[in-house]
Amino acid sequence: QVQLVESGGGLVQAGGSLRLSCAASGQIFANYAMGWFRQAPGKGREFVAAISRSGGNSNYADSVKGRFTISRGTAKNTVYLQMNSLKPEDSAVYYCAAHLSYYSDLADEYNRWGWGTQVTVSS
């Protein structure tokens, strides 16, 4: 099994940037597609972005297209989420997750989850 630990969250002003990291340990990282989800208070878990096992394909929620970029550094067993032009509505706990086959946008299909990292965007 793969274990996931997120980092890089924090407080940023609207228009600013953050880069989230998700470090994976355990089973071979390349076996998993990876996704980022977020959850704001009182709301359900929302898909943000996902990337294939090879890193050659990715998928984004409409709300973050053109602002967020997902990537993976295979040598370091890490997946990143670069977030630019942040908005107050991006504030949430961000989770990374591992999927055994596909870069799905459905949270229920993911097998492993990290504990999350808080992102707060002030207006």
pLDDT, one tens digit for every residue, the chain (123 residues): 778 999 999 999 999 999 999 998 877 777 889 999 999 999 999 999 999 998 999 999 999 999 999 999 866 689 999 999 999 999 999 999 999 889 999 999 998 999 999 999 999
- Exposure on the CB side of residue 104, measured as CA atoms within 13 A: 13
Q: How many CB atoms lie within 10 A of CB 4?
A: 23
Nearest alpha-carbon partner for 100 in 87, 86, 112: 112
